[in-house]
Amino acid sequence: MSKFKQYKRSVFKHESLRYFSTTSAAAVLVADSHNHFSTCNAQTLHSPNCQMQPTINPKFFLSKLVDCRNVCHIRQVHAQVTVTGLLENLFVTNKLLYLYVQYKDMNDACEMFDRMPERDPYSWSVMVGGFAKIGDYMNCFGTFREYVRTGECPDNYTLPNVIRACRDMMNVRMGTLIHNVVCKCGLDVDQFVVAALVDMYARCRVLDDARRLFDRMVRKDLVSWTVMIGACVELGDAGEALVLFDRMSEEGVAPDKVTMVTAVNACAKLGVMYKARQMHDYILGKKFSLDVILGTAMIDMYAKCGSVDSAREIFDSMREKNVISWSAMIAAYGYHGEGRKALDLLPVMLSSGIMPNRITFVSLLYACSHSGLIEDGLRLFSLMKEEYYIRPDVKHFTCMVDLLGRAGRLDQAMKLIEEMTAEKDEGLWSSLLGACRIHGHTELAEKAAHSLLELQPQKPGSYVLLSNIYAKAGRWKDVAKIRELMTHRRLKKVPGWTWIEVENQTYQFSIGDRTHPKSKEIYEKLMNLIKELELKGYVPNTDFVLHDVDEELKLDSLYSHSEKLAIAFGLISTAEGSPIRITKNLRVCGDCHTFSKFVSAVTQRVIIVRDANRYHHFKDGACSCGDYW
């Protein structure tokens, strides 16, 4: 049966329908007053002699538009609508507009919008949302401004779109202006508008404003809770994120999968294993299926909470894995110092049909640099360029500088930096500076530090790193100069903290901390332990104390480092043989690293340390990092 006959049949099913076009814009089907159907083209129809007076029914076109599956199809129906003169009908034009926007065809949408004889709030919201969706913020704000100038108050559909544009641009100034419009329109109680504002303030790192709005919300729905929990995770308060997660359930709002991903992220950021296990039990209890996103988030959570084996179990149990899941698993092996396992995943990944991307290669190169796999790293760096046509960016170069630098090949690292065309950033210079610290290369360190301080003069870390290098070289006058500079610029060294998990609780220690109720026992244990370790060959290394003071004071300072206090507390508070899990906010100090190796041998305990950079598993006197960190 021809297409035309099929259409003719369908027409009789719709009694009210007297007129419609075929798929061709030129050939149209018309009905006369006796319901006799025939075809004519648009020209004939609009000619003065044409006797046809069909009744036009927009519902037919609306139903045709619902079936559109691509832009060509929309354009076809659009042409048919144009022929009929139905472009006067707001329902039809709005539907066309919506479809163009859905298929991200903003050119056709704009043309349509410009020619619309009439527009309603829906038309405006579709256009504003369309521009926001494709990242054309200029036109998004321009259209919004035009809308406001019509004198209409924007509705609760338009405003979230324009607020999201502010969020994506990280433009809190514009966001605040829109917030004023929200208040003027009385929409500061609408859940969609307020949720968008909370999200915008949070992503623009104005947590206080986000929280104030959230707390004031009368009806907090699931998305608002999820946005707020995510904001806390993003802005570094993962503990508060988990508190909110519990409160949400108490207030009778059940989490969905998106909320669970956000809560899993909070556990990953917190790095606390018992929280990770609780979250996993919760997910199993509520029977959430492990889709590719939730599964990947859980790989990351377990890895960042110290168990790369649990991460692997999740990875193996996932039915669907994509390049992000594989990269997450490779990264997990990397920062746990299991570089070989990370590299072994690449061929398996390829054989399962997944291609690596630039992030996979960052993770692979990172794994090499943190396991001392120099030749493998060099090979992968070439492979990435030559076989996968991935142009290395500054992150790949940073891994390579780290790889070569740690191995003492500083000249080669510097040559690589000189040859690179990608823009050099602070991470790259930090990496070189770190390598100079390990190998005592003061001259190159000064060059790296100079570039670093130019790029980020407000970060105390760079000053501290250079000061460390001067201290190691005994250049105390230069150490003093750096300190003066820091004072002048009002910069303070970030204080070191160590957390430890004991019986589902976390305890925090700082250097020389005596605030813990068991402080006396902790120091006694520590002193006895040090004596025992010294008999086994442990020699405290005061290079890691940066003050120009006498040796005795240096030792006092070294012995009361937060890592050592936390380990001593762990030893007196946990069962013999059980692992000790600690987290440090900065990189672990070199002496504490040696200390931990000795403790693991003497006490037969596994000590798992998460520092600002990576994981260290101390066992039988050795560390998983192979002393590369």
Partner DNA sequence: TTAGGGTTAG
Site residues for DNA, 277-336, by CB under 7 A, read: 291-297, 300, 322-325, 327-328, 331, 335
- Any contact of residue 224 with DNA (CB under 7 A)? yes
- Any contact of residue 230 with DNA (CB under 7 A)? yes
Residues 415-434 that bind DNA (CB under 7 A): 425-428, 430-431, 434
Amino acid, res. 334: G
Residue 556 beta carbon to DNA: minimum distance, rounded to whole angstroms: 29
Furthest-apart CA atoms within the chain: distance in Å: 113
Task: Report helix, strand and coil shares of the chain as percent, to nearest 5.
Answer: 65, 5, 30
Angle at CA of residue 395, ends 335 and 380, nearest 5°: 70
- Any contact of residue 52 with DNA (CB under 7 A)? no
Among 84, 93, 262, 603, binds DNA (CB under 7 A): 262
For DNA, the closer of residues 368 and 522 by Cβ is: 368
The site string for DNA over 61-90 (x = CB under 7 A, - otherwise) reads: ------------------------------
Residue 512 beta carbon to DNA: minimum distance, rounded to whole angstroms: 27
The site string for DNA over 388-407 (x = CB under 7 A, - otherwise) reads: ------xx--xx--x-----
Residue 21 beta carbon to DNA: minimum distance, rounded to whole angstroms: 24
b/e burial code for range 25-44 (CB count within 10 A of at least 16 → b): beebbbbeeeeebeebebee
Q: How many CB atoms lie within 10 A of CB 114?
A: 7
Among 121, 460, 590, 621, binds DNA (CB under 7 A): 121
Among 21, 89, 226, 468, binds DNA (CB under 7 A): 226
Which secondary-structure segment (H or E) carries 162? helix 158-169
Residues in the chain: 629
Half-sphere CA count of 160, side-chain side, radius 13 A: 14
Computed over its alpha carbons, how large is the radius of gyration of the chain?
A: 32
b/e burial code for range 363-388 (CB count within 10 A of at least 16 → b): bbbbbbbbbbbbebbbebbeebeeee
Residue 549 beta carbon to DNA: minimum distance, rounded to whole angstroms: 27
For DNA, the closer of residues 418 and 503 by Cβ is: 418
For DNA, the closer of residues 88 and 425 by Cβ is: 425
- Any contact of residue 227 with DNA (CB under 7 A)? yes
- The H-assigned helical ranges of 473-561 are 476-488, 519-535, 551-559
- Any contact of residue 498 with DNA (CB under 7 A)? no
For DNA, the closer of residues 54 and 129 by Cβ is: 129
- Any contact of residue 221 with DNA (CB under 7 A)? yes
- Any contact of residue 192 with DNA (CB under 7 A)? yes
Residue 52 beta carbon to DNA: minimum distance, rounded to whole angstroms: 33
d(CA 214, CA 494): 31
Tokens of 512: 């020389």
Which secondary-structure segment (H or E) carries 285? helix 273-285
Stretch that binds DNA, among 338-346, 365-373, 547-555, 571-579 (CB under 7 A): 365-373
- Any contact of residue 261 with DNA (CB under 7 A)? yes
Residue 40 beta carbon to DNA: minimum distance, rounded to whole angstroms: 34
Among 64, 370, 561, 605, binds DNA (CB under 7 A): 370
Residue 118 beta carbon to DNA: minimum distance, rounded to whole angstroms: 15
- Any contact of residue 206 with DNA (CB under 7 A)? no
Residue 362 beta carbon to DNA: minimum distance, rounded to whole angstroms: 4
d(CA 408, CA 385): 25
The closest alpha carbon to 131, from 162, 99, 175, belongs to 162
Residue 528 beta carbon to DNA: minimum distance, rounded to whole angstroms: 35
Residue 198 beta carbon to DNA: minimum distance, rounded to whole angstroms: 9
Residue 260 beta carbon to DNA: minimum distance, rounded to whole angstroms: 7
Asked whether 30 and 38 are in contact (CB, 8 A), the reply is: yes
Among 366, 523, 595, 598, binds DNA (CB under 7 A): 366
Query: Beta partners for 41?
Result: 27
Tokens of 22: 């075929």
The closest alpha carbon to 616, from 574, 575, 568, 584, belongs to 584
For DNA, the closer of residues 54 and 392 by Cβ is: 392
Residue 323, Cβ density class (10 Å: 0-12 exposed, 13-18 middle, ≥19 buried): middle
Residues 540-599 that bind DNA (CB under 7 A): none
d(CA 428, CA 451): 10
Residues 135-174 that bind DNA (CB under 7 A): 155-157, 160, 164
